Structure 1
Amino acid sequence: MIYTNIVKTLAPMHEVKNIDRDFDFFKTCKAQRLPYPKDKDEELKIKTQQMLIVIAGTILGDLKRNNTNLVSRSLLFIDFDDVQETESEFLGKITDKLKAVNYCLYPTLKYKPDNIRYRLVLELDRAVSREEYEKLLFGLCLDLAVKFEFDESNKTWSQGQGLPIVTEFSSDNLRIFHDGFKPIPVDKFLHRITNSQQWVDAQKKQRLPKTSSYTTNSSGKQKYTGVFLEQLFEGATVGNRNIWWRQMVDKMLSVDTPIETIAKVMGAINFNLEIFPEPLDQKELDTIFHSRIKNHAEKGGNLY
């Protein structure tokens, strides 16, 4: 099934009806026209408030996008940011290595001819679990051998990916829909990855994706995670809420938490009456969210 929404909302995902095959959605969906962001503030606003995101798979419960409700994925997404190759070299690798499988490739928001950024969508021959999805990501990135900056947010299980868009620097003609071949054979591929030396080495070096958005590969982070979660669920007194939220957002940014995850955490915690009997209103929460991300970006921090 296909679900869409914008990032910054606590509303349930919208299920797209009358789709027999999830992969076909990317052939027919209309590209969203958006302006190319002139700075990080505008980029953040577009990504969180305007750009449509998608999840392909099965979401249960209230259809809200979180790691618990998402039980499986039917398509695999890889974001290619800051590709360190020419566009022709990059496209040549994709078309050559994926010629026997079904895939869709389209430019993302910050694509420019001199700043190659694409999103790859791969059809799978069966739905996959969280662990299987992470392993497929690992293996396919190795197989494609593209020189690029891997977007760590791709590892987040309930991460939504942006739908095709068009800016003044891109065109929907750049979208490639390669169909009529085969989906990725999940079981065969997983068996090969599991028995590969690269996978074994990655496990030894503890480079496997973590199961929590709050952990990284640094030593001692599990202890930090526990402390952070305790602080998060303790909340703050009425007179200290703004300062407390600024501190919490800064801590999440310091461990490269995706901005959409931060927005979800803020909404879920702030409007939980057991933690905040008197929550901040949405406007105050938005102001803190944008100001801390702006401050983080101005200091040279990465935004995921």
Structure 2
Amino acid sequence: MPEKNGSYKRNNSSLIYRDLIFLDYDDIQGTTEDFIEAVSSALFGYSYILYPTIKHSIEKPRFRLVVKSNNVMNEATYKQVVKEIADKIGLPFDMASLTWSQLQGLPVTTGDPATYQKVVEHGLDYPVPKVEPRAKQGTTERYKPRVSGQRSMTMRIIDTLFNGFGDEGGRNVALTRFVGLLFNKWVDCDLETAYELTKIANSVTVEPLPIEELDRTFSSIARAEYRKRG
């Protein structure tokens, strides 16, 4: 149901479906390399992204796992799939990952960018049970949910990291929009992380942009954004 001002508040009752699976690992006992290997072995052949969260450090590694599903999920299915993937990996995960409306942020760096290892694997979409998204109750009017700006931008960025900038005719436009999203105030990527994510998205594009063209476009947008910030 909308708020009195017509906006929609994200909570467990208002969220209709999810199409990406998120697990946070905040209590990693071994090394970062061992953790990445455990995830790789468990999810071999599937599409996923693994990146450090904001409190990550070399001494205390913390990672967020994003798995691409082959279908939308309702609350019950989402929790089932989170537990299934966690069981495959076999390591303790943050139980807040089971919260239906939990928000997840994009990669950020607060220290040396060289210590922030990111993994992007392209494979099959992870199979989930097919269900109908939860419908709005108490009315026959078709309900189209409005998601928060932060979630919408996060999903658009992650989708680009999985799928790239599209075909040759639209690559530059897609690149411009992508970099703009990274510097948006709701995402606020630092320069090094934004550039690395841009290179990752370009690398999975069917016909990647030449690096000189990518650098030129990225630098132009970055300068404009930093001028706006003063």
User: TM-score scaled by structure 2?
Assistant: 0.51
Do the aligned partners of residues 93 and 113 (structure 1) sit closer, same or farther apart at CA in structure 2, a change above 3 Å counting? same
Q: Percent identity over the alignment?
A: 32
Residue aligning to 1:77: 22
- Larger Cα-atom Rg: 1
Tell me the amino acid that sits aligned with residue 120 of structure 2: F
Output one character per residue of 1:173-219: Cα deviation in whole Å (capped at 9) or x when no partner: 6121112x10111129x9xxxxxxxxxxxxxxxxxxxxxxxxxxxxx
Match of 1:92 among 18, 37, 48: 37
Residue aligning to 2:85: 140
Higher RCO (CA 8 Å, separation ≥ 6 residues): 2
Tell me the amino acid that sits aligned with residue 164 of structure 1: P
Give the aligned CA root-mean-square deviation in angstroms. Answer: 2.5
Residue aligning to 1:187: 129
Bigger strand share? 1
Q: 1:196-275 residue pairs with structure 2 within 5 A?
A: none
Do the aligned partners of residues 75 and 120 (structure 1) sit closer, same or farther apart at CA in structure 2, a change above 3 Å counting? same
Tell me the amino acid that sits aligned with residue 64 of structure 2: R
Output one character per residue of 1:25-44: Cα deviation in whole Å (capped at 9) or x when no partner: xxxxxxxxxxxxxxxxxxxx
Contact 1:77 1:119 in 2 (8 A): yes
| 1:131 correspondence with 2:76 | yes
- What secondary structure does 1:154 align onto? helix
Residue aligning to 2:10: 65
- What secondary structure does 2:19 align onto? strand
> What displacement does 1:152 show?
2.2
Output one character per residue of 1:246-282: Cα deviation in whole Å (capped at 9) or x when no partner: xxxxxxxxxxxxxxxxxxxxxxxxxxxxxxxxxxxxx
Tell me the amino acid that sits aligned with residue 93 of structure 1: A
Unaligned stretches of 5+ in structure 2?
Answer: 132-230
Do the aligned partners of residues 173 and 84 (structure 1) sit closer, same or farther apart at CA in structure 2, a change above 3 Å counting? closer
Unaligned stretches of 5+ in structure 1?
Answer: 1-9, 13-60, 191-304
Output one character per residue of 1:220-262: Cα deviation in whole Å (capped at 9) or x when no partner: xxxxxxxxxxxxxxxxxxxxxxxxxxxxxxxxxxxxxxxxxxx
- What secondary structure does 1:153 align onto? helix
Contact 2:23 2:65 in 1 (8 A): yes
Output one character per residue of 1:103-130: Cα deviation in whole Å (capped at 9) or x when no partner: 0000011111111100000000000000
Tell me the amino acid that sits aligned with residue 68 of structure 1: S
> What displacement does 1:96 show?
2.0
> What displacement does 1:78 show?
0.1
- Which 4+ residue blocks in structure 1 deviate beyond 3 angstroms? 169-173
